[in-house]
Amino acid sequence: MLRFFTGDELGCIKSIQCSKDPQSSTGWKLDERILFNPPAHAQINSGKLDPEKAKESGVQKLALLNESDSTMVCSSYKSQTNIVLTPTPQEKLAAAKSNGVLSVFSVNSDDRKLEISKEWRESRYKVNHKFVGLNLSSEGLFWCTSNGALGRSVLELDAEEASSSFRKATLPMRLCSWNLSPDASSFAYGGNEVDLSVWDTERTFQETLGSQVIPSENSDTTKKRKRAGDLFPAEIWRAKNLPNDALSLRQPIHITSLSYLSSSSVGAGGVHLVSGTEGGDVRRYDTRAARRPIANWTSVAKVGGIGLVRAGLSEHELFVADNGTSLSALDLRNGRTIYSYKKLQGAITSVAQSSNNFLGSTSRDRYFRLHSTFPPPAIAGCQQEGRGEIFGTLYMKSVPTTVVCGELMDTPRRAQEMEGQNEIVGEGGDEEDENDDVWATMRDVGEGDDEDEGRIKTKRQLQTRS
């Protein structure tokens, strides 16, 4: 059974369970459960609060960490971050809201509700800003806002200790996307006139650097750094803009989304990244090769710019969505579209892929969709064997803004159900073995039998003629 966590523009956090249903036309059944309903949502239903006012606490980001003995889910609201950690048999979820509050929830094993266990405030979040990145790892909770406010917190502390143990740093402003590497050793960001940059995580939060990472814009050192292209103290690598166009005009920099590739590792000496731009291009970078992209695929977006790029679990797989209604899978070897999903009516806001290669997506038409995926062909440019399809849809009352995938933890009841299914399968397997023995003793009918039958007929004909 698949499970996805979603957050919407009104501040609700929901759990969507996807299970196979032979009676359904698509073969899948999608069940929705509201885990967290903000107090303002009840006022909306009673007509006492304007929905536009409630959007000030809408969910912007979700993050999830899976461990063998725990699952941690983190959701980010416009300015408040509510975190969810999940030790067995409980799960904890984190979220960031528009008022700058970070909250930690606990969810029971049956996914019925969330209970607030911790809360603290992010004071650097301002009006009209947004969270551009949120990530949970074994190192703690990481978040970043569009004004360059970067934070890190250990999740095991209580509310007072958590608020006082923040490790903060300052990044450039006008950011549009921030992402932590799979091993949490580095992070990357990009934005409006902010080119792609990779930083060392540990050095960024050192006390000697801290909030002093980015000097004042009026300082002479900043001007010299811009002229010389020097890196900041914790910066590992920074991309270089593309050459001027055919008219010798400077090409604008506007990164809307970025994603680490599975082959990224600072320890191995290189980081592989993919970025999407407002101009509709997708670019691939290798920090070992050059500062400029090693591949630049233009006009990938059909409508508007690139909305999001997300590396798939299969090799050479990349999911790309534009600001229209397009969601496609690209081959990272040549930048060609492998397949596109049909019958989408709204712009994709977020995607999440499960370990068994199912894809969940949310869009502005208020739908959650469950997709199938197929890996790229073994040889680049060859014909694709399969295409991704939509297995199920679920209409949601408010616009979902983000989604993450989490493995559904087995309760004792689920374990008993699985054991019962295994016993049934085992009994069927014994019957099949007996049938195999019967079939093994039977003689196969082949070409030789046809020849023998033809010889008998010929002999009979000769006897009749004589």
The proportion of the chain whose per-residue pLDDT surpasses 90, expressed as a percent, equals 44
> SS3 helix, strand, coil % of the chain, rounded to 5?
20, 40, 40
372 lies in the same domain as 418: no
Mean pLDDT across the stretch 236-240? Answer: 96
- What's the pLDDT tens digit per position in 386-409? 889 999 999 999 999 999 887 665
- Token pair belonging to 330: 């690209």
Mean pLDDT across the stretch 75-102? Answer: 61
In a domain, 462, yes or no: no
- Token pair belonging to 96: 């960031």
Mean pLDDT across the stretch 434-439? Answer: 50
300 lies in the same domain as 286: yes
Position 204 scores a pLDDT of 95
- CA 79 to CA 61: how far, in whole Å? 10
434 lies in the same domain as 370: no
Mean pLDDT across the stretch 316-343? Answer: 96
Residue 254 scores a pLDDT above 50 = yes
In a domain, 50, yes or no: yes
pTM for the predicted model, two decimal places: 0.80
In a domain, 458, yes or no: no
Mean pLDDT across the stretch 278-298? Answer: 95
**pLDDT higher at 70 or 157:** 157
pLDDT classification of 25: cutoffs 50, 70, 90: confident
Total domain count for the chain? 2
In a domain, 457, yes or no: no
Position 430 scores a pLDDT of 47
372 lies in the same domain as 432: no
Q: Identify each DSSP E strand in 396-442 by its residue range.
A: 400-407
In a domain, 194, yes or no: yes
| Dihedral (CA of 179, 63, 393, 312) sign | positive
Position 413 scores a pLDDT of 44
- Token pair belonging to 82: 């509510």
pLDDT classification of 22: cutoffs 50, 70, 90: confident
Position 195 scores a pLDDT of 97
354 lies in the same domain as 431: no
Position 446 scores a pLDDT of 47
Residue 334 scores a pLDDT above 80 = yes
Position 111 scores a pLDDT of 65
In a domain, 189, yes or no: yes
Identify the weakest region by mean pLDDT among 42-56, 250-264, 323-337.
42-56
122 lies in the same domain as 223: yes
Position 149 scores a pLDDT of 93
- CA 136 to CA 153: how far, in whole Å? 10
Mean pLDDT across the stretch 67-93? Answer: 54
User: Which residue segment(s) compose the domain that 225 sits in?
Assistant: 2-412
Helix extents (H) in 86-234:
159-164, 201-204, 220-228
Burial, 199: exposed, middle or buried (Cβ in 10 Å; 0-12, 13-18, 19+)?
A: buried
Position 352 scores a pLDDT of 95
Averaged pLDDT score across all residues of the chain: 79
Position 99 scores a pLDDT of 74
423 lies in the same domain as 285: no
Q: Compute φ and ψ for 91, nearest 5 degrees.
A: -125, 150
419 lies in the same domain as 396: no
161 lies in the same domain as 264: yes
Position 118 scores a pLDDT of 74
Would you tell me how many other CB atoms lie within 10 Å of the CB of residue 401? 23
402 lies in the same domain as 428: no
Residue 357 Cα distances to 24, 272, 314, 335, 431, angstroms: 21, 22, 8, 21, 32
Position 429 scores a pLDDT of 44
Mean pLDDT across the stretch 414-441? Answer: 45
Position 225 scores a pLDDT of 47
Position 432 scores a pLDDT of 45
In a domain, 78, yes or no: yes
For 150-172, b/e burial (b = at least 16 CB within 10 A) is: bbbbebeeeeeebbeebbbbbbb
Position 421 scores a pLDDT of 40
The proportion of the chain whose per-residue pLDDT surpasses 70, expressed as a percent, equals 68
Cβ atoms of 131 and 78 within 8 Å: the answer is yes
170 lies in the same domain as 76: yes
Position 150 scores a pLDDT of 94
- What's the pLDDT tens digit per position in 117-166? 777 777 898 888 999 998 888 788 889 999 999 999 887 655 555 555 67
Mean pLDDT across the stretch 42-65? Answer: 73
Q: How many CA atoms lie within 13 A of 441 on its CB side?
A: 5
216 lies in the same domain as 364: yes
Burial, 45: exposed, middle or buried (Cβ in 10 Å; 0-12, 13-18, 19+)?
A: exposed
- CA 281 to CA 177: how far, in whole Å? 15
Terminal CA-CA length for the chain: 75
In a domain, 460, yes or no: no
Position 454 scores a pLDDT of 52
Position 101 scores a pLDDT of 73
CATH of the domain at 137: 2.130.10.10
Position 90 scores a pLDDT of 56
